[in-house]
Amino acid sequence: MSESIPNASFEQIGEVLRRHHSFVLLSHVRPDGDAIGSQLALGMSLLDAGKSVRLFNEDGLPDSLTFLRGSGHLEVPPAEPVTAEVVIALDTATKPRLGERCLHAVSTVKLLLNIDHHISNSEYGDLNLIDATSPATGEILYDLIIALGLPLPEATRDALYVAVSTDTGSFQYPSTTAKTYDMAADLIRRGLEVGTINSNTYDNHPFRRLELLRTLLNTLELSPDGLVAHWTLREATRRELSLCAADSEGLIDVIRAIRGVQVAVFFEETPDGQTRVSMRSKDRRYDVCRIAAEFGGGGHSLAAGIRMHEPLDEAKTRVLEAIRHRIRNACA
Protein backbone atom coordinates (compact mmCIF):
# COMPACT_ATOMS: atom_id res chain seq x y z
CA MET A 1 0.00 0.00 0.00
CA SER A 2 1.29 3.47 -0.83
CA GLU A 3 -0.02 5.26 2.24
CA SER A 4 -0.50 4.26 5.86
CA ILE A 5 -4.10 4.26 7.10
CA PRO A 6 -4.06 5.70 10.66
CA ASN A 7 -7.11 3.88 11.96
CA ALA A 8 -8.70 1.35 9.66
CA SER A 9 -12.27 0.17 9.99
CA PHE A 10 -13.26 -3.43 10.65
CA GLU A 11 -14.48 -3.53 7.05
CA GLN A 12 -11.07 -2.52 5.72
CA ILE A 13 -9.33 -5.14 7.88
CA GLY A 14 -11.92 -7.70 6.80
CA GLU A 15 -11.29 -6.96 3.14
CA VAL A 16 -7.59 -7.73 3.63
CA LEU A 17 -8.38 -10.96 5.47
CA ARG A 18 -10.81 -12.07 2.76
CA ARG A 19 -8.66 -11.06 -0.21
CA HIS A 20 -5.41 -12.70 0.89
CA HIS A 21 -4.55 -16.31 1.68
CA SER A 22 -1.19 -16.39 3.49
CA PHE A 23 -0.51 -14.60 6.77
CA VAL A 24 2.25 -14.28 9.37
CA LEU A 25 1.17 -13.13 12.83
CA LEU A 26 3.70 -11.49 15.16
CA SER A 27 3.72 -10.17 18.73
CA HIS A 28 6.24 -8.35 20.91
CA VAL A 29 9.40 -9.65 22.54
CA ARG A 30 8.99 -11.07 26.07
CA PRO A 31 5.36 -11.88 25.23
CA ASP A 32 2.61 -11.79 27.83
CA GLY A 33 -0.85 -13.35 27.85
CA ASP A 34 -2.40 -10.67 25.64
CA ALA A 35 0.38 -10.98 23.05
CA ILE A 36 0.28 -14.79 22.78
CA GLY A 37 -3.47 -14.98 23.32
CA SER A 38 -4.07 -12.49 20.51
CA GLN A 39 -1.82 -14.40 18.11
CA LEU A 40 -3.49 -17.71 18.86
CA ALA A 41 -7.00 -16.25 18.79
CA LEU A 42 -6.70 -14.65 15.36
CA GLY A 43 -4.38 -17.33 14.02
CA MET A 44 -6.69 -20.23 14.88
CA SER A 45 -9.66 -18.31 13.49
CA LEU A 46 -7.89 -17.72 10.16
CA LEU A 47 -6.74 -21.35 10.01
CA ASP A 48 -10.34 -22.44 10.56
CA ALA A 49 -11.31 -20.16 7.68
CA GLY A 50 -8.94 -22.08 5.40
CA LYS A 51 -6.08 -19.58 5.37
CA SER A 52 -2.36 -20.33 5.51
CA VAL A 53 -1.05 -18.96 8.82
CA ARG A 54 2.24 -18.91 10.69
CA LEU A 55 2.76 -17.49 14.19
CA PHE A 56 6.20 -16.09 15.10
CA ASN A 57 7.53 -14.66 18.34
CA GLU A 58 11.14 -13.63 18.91
CA ASP A 59 11.25 -15.29 22.34
CA GLY A 60 8.93 -18.18 21.59
CA LEU A 61 6.06 -19.50 23.70
CA PRO A 62 6.26 -18.91 27.48
CA ASP A 63 6.03 -22.15 29.49
CA SER A 64 3.12 -20.67 31.41
CA LEU A 65 0.93 -20.59 28.27
CA THR A 66 1.64 -24.04 26.82
CA PHE A 67 -1.77 -25.18 28.09
CA LEU A 68 -3.56 -23.08 25.47
CA ARG A 69 -5.11 -24.98 22.57
CA GLY A 70 -3.15 -24.40 19.38
CA SER A 71 -0.03 -23.20 21.21
CA GLY A 72 2.07 -25.70 19.26
CA HIS A 73 1.60 -23.49 16.19
CA LEU A 74 3.72 -20.73 17.71
CA GLU A 75 7.37 -20.80 16.61
CA VAL A 76 10.51 -18.72 16.83
CA PRO A 77 11.19 -16.95 13.51
CA PRO A 78 13.26 -18.81 10.92
CA ALA A 79 16.67 -17.50 9.87
CA GLU A 80 15.58 -16.78 6.29
CA PRO A 81 12.72 -14.54 5.10
CA VAL A 82 9.41 -16.32 4.54
CA THR A 83 6.91 -16.00 1.74
CA ALA A 84 3.52 -14.57 2.71
CA GLU A 85 1.05 -11.93 1.56
CA VAL A 86 0.27 -10.20 4.86
CA VAL A 87 1.99 -9.62 8.20
CA ILE A 88 -0.21 -8.85 11.21
CA ALA A 89 1.49 -7.30 14.25
CA LEU A 90 -0.52 -7.77 17.43
CA ASP A 91 -0.32 -6.01 20.81
CA THR A 92 2.94 -4.26 19.87
CA ALA A 93 3.26 -0.49 20.22
CA THR A 94 6.39 0.04 18.10
CA LYS A 95 7.86 -1.91 15.21
CA PRO A 96 11.26 -2.60 16.85
CA ARG A 97 9.43 -4.35 19.73
CA LEU A 98 8.61 -7.15 17.29
CA GLY A 99 12.29 -8.13 17.43
CA GLU A 100 15.05 -8.13 14.83
CA ARG A 101 14.67 -11.80 13.89
CA CYS A 102 10.91 -11.49 13.40
CA LEU A 103 11.35 -8.38 11.28
CA HIS A 104 13.96 -10.11 9.15
CA ALA A 105 11.72 -13.17 8.72
CA VAL A 106 8.93 -11.01 7.27
CA SER A 107 11.15 -8.48 5.47
CA THR A 108 9.87 -9.44 2.01
CA VAL A 109 6.16 -9.31 2.90
CA LYS A 110 4.54 -6.23 1.36
CA LEU A 111 1.48 -5.55 3.54
CA LEU A 112 1.59 -4.93 7.31
CA LEU A 113 -1.47 -4.73 9.57
CA ASN A 114 -1.01 -3.30 13.06
CA ILE A 115 -3.69 -4.16 15.66
CA ASP A 116 -3.11 -2.87 19.18
CA HIS A 117 -4.51 -1.10 22.25
CA HIS A 118 -1.48 0.90 23.46
CA ILE A 119 -1.96 4.67 23.46
CA SER A 120 1.73 5.02 22.57
CA ASN A 121 1.37 3.00 19.34
CA SER A 122 3.35 4.65 16.54
CA GLU A 123 0.95 3.55 13.75
CA TYR A 124 3.70 1.76 11.84
CA GLY A 125 1.41 -0.44 9.77
CA ASP A 126 0.02 0.02 6.28
CA LEU A 127 -3.34 -0.43 8.01
CA ASN A 128 -3.60 0.38 11.72
CA LEU A 129 -6.42 -0.65 14.02
CA ILE A 130 -5.61 1.05 17.33
CA ASP A 131 -8.12 1.36 20.18
CA ALA A 132 -6.46 2.79 23.28
CA THR A 133 -9.76 2.57 25.18
CA SER A 134 -9.75 -1.21 24.93
CA PRO A 135 -8.32 -3.05 27.97
CA ALA A 136 -6.59 -5.63 25.77
CA THR A 137 -5.80 -6.39 22.16
CA GLY A 138 -7.74 -9.59 22.73
CA GLU A 139 -10.95 -7.60 23.20
CA ILE A 140 -10.37 -5.74 19.93
CA LEU A 141 -9.93 -9.10 18.18
CA TYR A 142 -13.09 -10.48 19.78
CA ASP A 143 -15.05 -7.52 18.39
CA LEU A 144 -13.35 -7.93 15.01
CA ILE A 145 -14.05 -11.67 14.78
CA ILE A 146 -17.70 -11.23 15.76
CA ALA A 147 -18.22 -8.25 13.42
CA LEU A 148 -16.68 -10.05 10.43
CA GLY A 149 -18.35 -13.38 11.13
CA LEU A 150 -14.99 -15.15 11.29
CA PRO A 151 -14.78 -18.66 12.79
CA LEU A 152 -14.56 -18.80 16.58
CA PRO A 153 -13.22 -22.30 17.33
CA GLU A 154 -12.42 -23.50 20.84
CA ALA A 155 -8.77 -22.48 20.51
CA THR A 156 -9.77 -18.92 19.62
CA ARG A 157 -12.36 -18.80 22.40
CA ASP A 158 -9.86 -19.84 25.08
CA ALA A 159 -7.07 -17.60 23.76
CA LEU A 160 -9.33 -14.53 23.72
CA TYR A 161 -10.27 -15.11 27.36
CA VAL A 162 -6.65 -15.50 28.48
CA ALA A 163 -5.59 -12.44 26.47
CA VAL A 164 -8.16 -10.21 28.14
CA SER A 165 -8.02 -11.77 31.60
CA THR A 166 -4.26 -11.39 31.92
CA ASP A 167 -4.18 -7.80 30.62
CA THR A 168 -6.94 -6.70 33.00
CA GLY A 169 -5.43 -8.31 36.09
CA SER A 170 -8.13 -10.98 36.01
CA PHE A 171 -10.81 -8.33 35.29
CA GLN A 172 -9.68 -6.10 38.18
CA TYR A 173 -7.96 -3.13 36.51
CA PRO A 174 -9.85 0.16 35.88
CA SER A 175 -9.73 -0.48 32.13
CA THR A 176 -12.23 -3.34 32.61
CA THR A 177 -15.73 -2.37 31.45
CA ALA A 178 -19.18 -3.92 31.29
CA LYS A 179 -18.34 -4.74 27.66
CA THR A 180 -15.34 -6.74 28.87
CA TYR A 181 -17.55 -8.80 31.17
CA ASP A 182 -20.08 -9.25 28.36
CA MET A 183 -17.30 -10.68 26.18
CA ALA A 184 -16.22 -13.08 28.93
CA ALA A 185 -19.84 -14.18 29.48
CA ASP A 186 -20.26 -14.86 25.76
CA LEU A 187 -17.10 -16.99 25.71
CA ILE A 188 -18.39 -18.97 28.68
CA ARG A 189 -21.69 -19.50 26.89
CA ARG A 190 -19.65 -20.83 23.97
CA GLY A 191 -18.26 -23.55 26.23
CA LEU A 192 -15.22 -22.02 27.90
CA GLU A 193 -14.43 -23.85 31.16
CA VAL A 194 -13.70 -20.80 33.29
CA GLY A 195 -12.51 -22.67 36.40
CA THR A 196 -10.04 -24.81 34.46
CA ILE A 197 -8.64 -21.99 32.36
CA ASN A 198 -8.25 -19.67 35.37
CA SER A 199 -6.46 -22.42 37.27
CA ASN A 200 -4.09 -23.04 34.36
CA THR A 201 -3.45 -19.31 34.00
CA TYR A 202 -2.99 -18.28 37.63
CA ASP A 203 -2.40 -21.39 39.77
CA ASN A 204 0.25 -23.31 37.88
CA HIS A 205 3.62 -21.62 38.48
CA PRO A 206 7.05 -23.30 38.78
CA PHE A 207 8.74 -23.24 42.19
CA ARG A 208 11.48 -20.93 40.88
CA ARG A 209 8.88 -18.18 40.57
CA LEU A 210 8.39 -18.35 44.36
CA GLU A 211 12.15 -18.28 44.84
CA LEU A 212 12.21 -15.18 42.64
CA LEU A 213 9.47 -13.54 44.70
CA ARG A 214 11.43 -14.20 47.90
CA THR A 215 14.52 -12.59 46.38
CA LEU A 216 12.58 -9.58 45.08
CA LEU A 217 10.97 -8.96 48.47
CA ASN A 218 14.45 -8.65 49.95
CA THR A 219 15.13 -5.75 47.56
CA LEU A 220 11.79 -3.97 48.14
CA GLU A 221 11.98 -0.25 48.93
CA LEU A 222 9.21 2.18 49.79
CA SER A 223 9.45 5.94 49.29
CA PRO A 224 9.28 8.09 52.49
CA ASP A 225 5.74 9.24 51.57
CA GLY A 226 4.63 5.63 50.89
CA LEU A 227 3.47 6.45 47.36
CA VAL A 228 6.15 4.57 45.40
CA ALA A 229 7.27 0.96 45.85
CA HIS A 230 10.06 -0.60 43.81
CA TRP A 231 12.19 -3.72 43.70
CA THR A 232 15.11 -4.96 41.64
CA LEU A 233 16.12 -8.10 39.76
CA ARG A 234 19.84 -8.48 39.10
CA GLU A 235 21.15 -10.55 36.21
CA ALA A 236 23.13 -12.68 38.69
CA THR A 237 19.84 -13.70 40.34
CA ARG A 238 18.31 -14.55 36.98
CA ARG A 239 21.21 -16.90 36.27
CA GLU A 240 21.29 -18.37 39.78
CA LEU A 241 17.59 -19.30 39.68
CA SER A 242 17.62 -20.28 35.97
CA LEU A 243 14.74 -17.90 35.37
CA CYS A 244 12.65 -17.63 32.22
CA ALA A 245 11.23 -14.29 31.10
CA ALA A 246 7.70 -15.40 32.00
CA ASP A 247 8.64 -16.15 35.62
CA SER A 248 8.37 -12.48 36.60
CA GLU A 249 5.11 -11.86 34.71
CA GLY A 250 2.53 -10.22 36.97
CA LEU A 251 4.71 -10.10 40.09
CA ILE A 252 4.72 -6.30 40.06
CA ASP A 253 1.09 -6.49 41.18
CA VAL A 254 2.32 -7.76 44.57
CA ILE A 255 3.85 -4.38 45.40
CA ARG A 256 1.19 -2.45 43.51
CA ALA A 257 -1.27 -3.92 46.03
CA ILE A 258 0.46 -2.35 49.05
CA ARG A 259 -1.92 0.01 50.84
CA GLY A 260 -1.08 3.63 50.05
CA VAL A 261 1.22 2.81 47.13
CA GLN A 262 0.23 4.63 43.95
CA VAL A 263 3.15 3.73 41.66
CA ALA A 264 4.96 0.38 41.57
CA VAL A 265 8.23 -0.09 39.68
CA PHE A 266 10.12 -3.24 38.71
CA PHE A 267 13.76 -2.74 37.67
CA GLU A 268 15.46 -5.59 35.80
CA GLU A 269 19.08 -5.84 34.78
CA THR A 270 19.40 -7.37 31.31
CA PRO A 271 22.15 -9.77 30.17
CA ASP A 272 23.78 -6.99 28.10
CA GLY A 273 24.04 -4.65 31.10
CA GLN A 274 21.06 -2.50 30.22
CA THR A 275 17.85 -2.01 32.22
CA ARG A 276 14.24 -2.97 31.72
CA VAL A 277 11.68 -0.97 33.70
CA SER A 278 8.03 -1.91 34.29
CA MET A 279 5.68 0.56 35.97
CA ARG A 280 2.14 0.36 37.29
CA SER A 281 -0.03 3.18 38.62
CA LYS A 282 -3.29 3.17 40.57
CA ASP A 283 -4.09 6.81 39.78
CA ARG A 284 -4.26 8.38 36.31
CA ARG A 285 -2.80 11.59 37.77
CA TYR A 286 0.45 9.65 38.00
CA ASP A 287 0.53 8.75 34.31
CA VAL A 288 3.34 6.21 33.94
CA CYS A 289 3.05 6.27 30.15
CA ARG A 290 4.18 9.90 30.19
CA ILE A 291 7.05 9.00 32.50
CA ALA A 292 8.04 6.13 30.21
CA ALA A 293 7.90 8.42 27.17
CA GLU A 294 10.62 10.61 28.73
CA PHE A 295 12.97 7.65 28.31
CA GLY A 296 11.72 6.37 24.95
CA GLY A 297 9.24 3.89 26.43
CA GLY A 298 5.46 3.69 26.30
CA GLY A 299 2.31 1.84 27.20
CA HIS A 300 -0.79 3.02 29.04
CA SER A 301 -1.43 5.64 31.71
CA LEU A 302 -1.64 2.90 34.36
CA ALA A 303 0.90 0.43 32.92
CA ALA A 304 4.04 1.24 30.96
CA GLY A 305 7.57 0.06 30.30
CA ILE A 306 11.01 1.27 29.26
CA ARG A 307 14.14 -0.33 27.85
CA MET A 308 17.11 1.83 28.92
CA HIS A 309 20.73 1.67 27.74
CA GLU A 310 22.02 2.77 31.15
CA PRO A 311 23.18 0.25 33.76
CA LEU A 312 20.64 -0.58 36.43
CA ASP A 313 21.72 1.76 39.24
CA GLU A 314 21.92 4.78 36.94
CA ALA A 315 18.57 3.98 35.29
CA LYS A 316 16.97 3.47 38.68
CA THR A 317 18.07 6.91 39.91
CA ARG A 318 16.78 8.67 36.79
CA VAL A 319 13.41 6.91 36.67
CA LEU A 320 12.67 7.35 40.38
CA GLU A 321 13.46 11.06 40.12
CA ALA A 322 11.08 11.37 37.14
CA ILE A 323 8.36 9.62 39.15
CA ARG A 324 8.92 11.93 42.14
CA HIS A 325 8.71 14.94 39.80
CA ARG A 326 5.43 13.66 38.30
CA ILE A 327 3.95 13.10 41.76
CA ARG A 328 5.01 16.55 42.97
CA ASN A 329 3.37 18.21 39.95
CA ALA A 330 0.19 16.15 40.34
CA CYS A 331 -0.10 17.08 44.02
CA ALA A 332 0.72 20.77 43.53
Strand partners, 116: 130
pLDDT 10s digits, 4-41 = 666 899 999 999 999 999 999 999 999 999 999 999 99
DSSP string of 126-189, one letter each residue:
SEEEE-TTSS-HHHHHHHHHHHHT----HHHHHHHHHHHHHHTTTTTSTT--HHHHHHHHHHHH
Give the pLDDT score at 7: 87
Comparing CA positions, the residue from 223, 185, 240 lying closest to residue 328 is 223
Give the pLDDT score at 1: 46
| Cα–Cα dist 287/304, whole Å | 9
pLDDT 10s digits, 128-186 = 999 999 999 999 999 999 999 999 999 999 999 999 999 999 999 889 999 999 999 99
Q: Which helix (H) or strand (E) holds 247?
A: none
Give the pLDDT score at 2: 42
| Cα–Cα dist 140/40, whole Å | 14
Give the pLDDT score at 331: 74
| Cα–Cα dist 122/107, whole Å | 19
pTM above 0.85, yes or no: yes
Collapsing DSSP to helix, strand or coil, 248 comes out as helix
The burial of 174, by beta-carbon neighbours within 10 Å (0-12 exposed, 13-18 middle, 19 or more buried), is given as: middle
Residues of the chain whose pLDDT is less than 50? 1-2
Q: Which helix (H) or strand (E) holds 104?
A: helix 100-105
- Domains detected in the chain: 10-202 (3.90.1640.10), 207-331 (3.10.310.30)
Comparing CA positions, the residue from 241, 197, 205, 210 lying closest to residue 71 is 197
Q: Report whether 14 contacts 46 (CB < 8 A).
A: no
